[in-house]
Amino acid sequence: MEIVHVYTKLRAEFGRQCLFSDRPAELLVDVLPDPSLGLQFIHKTPRDQALQACRDMSEHQVNTERFESDSCGINHVEGGWPKDVNPQEMEQTIRFRKKVEKDESYINSTLQLGSVMEHCIRQNNAVDIYQEYFEDEEEVEESQEPPFAKTINVFRDPNEVKRTVTCLSWHPDSGRKLAAAYSCLEFQKTSKDMSLDSYIWDVENPNRPEMTLKPTSPLVCLEYNPKDSHTLVGGSYNGQIAYWDTRRGSQPVELSSVEQSHRDPVYKIIWLQSKTGTDAFSASTDGQVLWWDVRKLSEPTERLVLDPGREGNLDRALGAISLEFESTMPTKFMVGTEQGVVVSCNRKAKTPAEKIVCTYDGHHGPVYALQRNPFFPKNFLTVGDWTARIWSEDIKESSIMWTKYQMSYLTDACWSPVRPSVFFTVKMDGVLDIWDILFKQNDPTLSLKVCDEALYSLRVQDNGRLVACGSQQGGATLLEICSGLSTLQKNEKSLLAAMFERETKREKILEARQREIRLKERSRSEQSREEEGGREEGEESPDQLIARAENNFFSVVETELRRRREKEDEENRVMSLILYTQQSLTFCSLTFTSENTKVLLLQ
């Protein structure tokens, strides 16, 4: 059958026939040039205009939407057998196989294939075509490519209300798992819907956390036990310490009692080296450092109050915000405080007064991070306010090296575990800086903007290549550092040792000089005191001080009042002048200068 389209229209509907006619050209619009408009333009000669005859290209980046993938296994059953043969039955399969072997095409094909294959096998046995020729030679030094770091994964907080990642801890064995503590550190900004959970992430799967930890109060810090990779200890916002075993579920196995714990958020908790492997100590801004045995969290085993007066007075204690412990020196530890002071303590001292050995005062703000160099334990790194400082234990007056003041607040730092001269810092503008002090001291070797919000925590994995940093909106970013920054260079240790020596010596010399100057001043002031005889210099009695202060105050008040009276008189004079000149028309600008050089403009 033929399908035909038919268009029909009635003749009557066509309308009037069009009649075309000729018409001469008509001028509709004539716009003449207006030379006055040319004055608005500047004549520019000569003109340089580049032209290129090539194809227009444009570059465009597209980011696909995050899609969640899930790995799962499928069970395959042996197939391909014809319907009448049951693959489980040995007899049937053997019978089937025998049948095929009798087939003509099978025999021919196999003979053919046999000869081909033999040829290949003989080839393989004759010459090894993949032989390494220059295996013994040393690998040529790689060309100095610029350092780079690549983001591998971002682990986002799955809850609606985003919390800050306040602490990160790598799994001690493999570095395949990352524990992140989430809490909101801004005072009274926690909303009612904020979840209390913290998560353990598997590095390969950023879509869903591998395990959830459910504390009673948000966790501020979290640490894996380096001896037992299944246990974690965490310090929470309300001061309690909680102990988890990942084999026993999400609830803490034990929780310290509220009365015996800290009274402020626990900012740092570190596992100690002990025979039982169950000791930890924690620090908080309430001024206490507490030692715990995780088997019995009902009360701490030891308590230290960070009172600089060495009296154990809690009111005058410094709030602790970071802790440092090196397993090679088990009796010493250091505490970084809110007041910008680093306190070095000895755990084995006999009396609490002797526990605090010395203080290092260097920062204007809280010391957020504190870590000894893993290769040179005498030197440690502190971070606080806008600088990062490197100290030597012997020099207590000031740090031996420091970075210049950065544009934003530094929140965390750590040394690289493989390269002694490399350390990492994170800042509140979302930038991760990698410093290599053997290469460049003034600026970071590599500066990466990780995210738009502030970064609050940082942790390097033990192999030195992976770095995790946590942001304010709950995103933990995992980065991989290039091999140049994570492999030990030749002579690095000796060069760095020399550098630290040099800086320490410089500081010592400066300190000695300062002391000399101070001694001279003191001796000079003592001399002048003897010359002047009985005049009491400096040490006035309190009454005299009060009298002097009162006199000063009253004289200042007097002068101020006098000045005001004078100003009022002038203004009165000006007012009368205005009334006098009100007769004059429109703009009347009057300038009147007085002894006090005041200018009044009246319009």
Partner 1 sequence: MAEVEETLKRIEAHKGVIGTIVVNAEGIPIRTNLDNSTAVQYAGLLRHLTMLARSTVRDIDPQNDLIVLRIRTKKYEIMVAPENGFLLIVIQNPCE
Helical axes 104-126 vs 90-101, angle rounded to 10°: 90
Torsion of CA 560, 563, 567, 573, to 10 degrees: 150
Query: Which residues does 147 contact at the CB level (< 8 Å), separation at least 6?
Result: 434, 445, 446, 481, 482, 484, 485
Three-state secondary structure string covering 450-481: CCCCCEEEEEECCCCCEEEEEECCCCEEEEEE
Residue choice 50, 57, 111, 601 for contact with partner 1 (CB under 8 A):
111
CB of 104 to partner 1, least distance (A): 11
- Would you count residue 117 as binding partner 1 (CB under 8 A)? yes
Residue choice 105, 528, 576, 584 for contact with partner 1 (CB under 8 A):
105
Mask 528-567, x = binds partner 1 (CB under 8 A)? ----------------------------------------
Inter-residue contact 218 to 165 (CB < 8 Å): no
Q: Residue 405 carries which DSSP code?
A: P
- Would you count residue 187 as binding partner 1 (CB under 8 A)? no
What is the SS3 assignment for 330? coil
Residue choice 86, 89, 95, 112 for contact with partner 1 (CB under 8 A):
112
Q: Which is nearer to partner 1, 119 or 404 (CB)?
A: 119
Q: Which is nearer to partner 1, 87 or 249 (CB)?
A: 87
Q: Which is nearer to partner 1, 94 or 258 (CB)?
A: 94
- Would you count residue 107 as binding partner 1 (CB under 8 A)? yes
Stretch near partner 1 under the rule CB under 8 A, chosen from 116-124, 206-214, 418-426, 527-535:
116-124
The continuous run of DSSP H or E covering 413 comes out as strand 410-415
- Cα(312)–Cα(323) distance, rounded to whole angstroms? 19
CB of 102 to partner 1, least distance (A): 7
Residue choice 88, 110, 174, 327 for contact with partner 1 (CB under 8 A):
110
Residue choice 86, 114, 550, 571 for contact with partner 1 (CB under 8 A):
114
Mask 53-82, x = binds partner 1 (CB under 8 A)? -----------------------x-xxxxx
CB of 140 to partner 1, least distance (A): 24
- Would you count residue 118 as binding partner 1 (CB under 8 A)? yes
Q: Please calculate the CA angle 540-543-548 and round it to the nearest 5 degrees.
A: 75
Inter-residue contact 384 to 364 (CB < 8 Å): yes
Both tokens of 256, joined, read: 């310290």
What is the SS3 assignment for 305? strand
Number of residues that bind partner 1 (CB under 8 A): 33
Phi, psi values for residue 567, rounded to 5°: -60, -40
Q: Which is nearer to partner 1, 125 or 351 (CB)?
A: 125
Residue choice 6, 19, 32, 120 for contact with partner 1 (CB under 8 A):
120
* Cα distances (Å, whole numbers) of residue 80 to 73, 77, 88, 320: 21, 10, 13, 70
- Would you count residue 130 as binding partner 1 (CB under 8 A)? yes
- Cα(354)–Cα(421) distance, rounded to whole angstroms? 33
- Would you count residue 94 as binding partner 1 (CB under 8 A)? no
Closest by alpha carbon to 155, among 530, 473, 499, 559? 473
- Would you count residue 84 as binding partner 1 (CB under 8 A)? no
- Would you count residue 276 as binding partner 1 (CB under 8 A)? no
What is the SS3 assignment for 518? helix
Residue choice 25, 116, 407, 599 for contact with partner 1 (CB under 8 A):
116
CB of 109 to partner 1, least distance (A): 4
Closest by alpha carbon to 196, among 230, 178, 220, 177? 220
Residue choice 86, 88, 108, 276 for contact with partner 1 (CB under 8 A):
108
Q: Which is nearer to partner 1, 131 or 541 (CB)?
A: 131
Closest by alpha carbon to 363, among 335, 338, 392, 331? 338
CB of 123 to partner 1, least distance (A): 9
CB atoms within 10 A of CB 482: 16
- Would you count residue 128 as binding partner 1 (CB under 8 A)? yes
Residue choice 86, 88, 89, 124 for contact with partner 1 (CB under 8 A):
124
Q: Which is nearer to partner 1, 80 or 533 (CB)?
A: 80
Stretch near partner 1 under the rule CB under 8 A, chosen from 92-100, 327-335, 484-492, 549-557:
92-100
Q: Residue 411 carries which DSSP code?
A: E
Q: Which is nearer to partner 1, 113 or 358 (CB)?
A: 113
Query: Which residues does 74 contact at the CB level (< 8 Å), separation at least 6?
Result: none
* Interacting residues toward partner 1 by CB under 8 A: 76, 78-82, 96-97, 100-102, 105-118, 120-122, 124-125, 128, 130-131
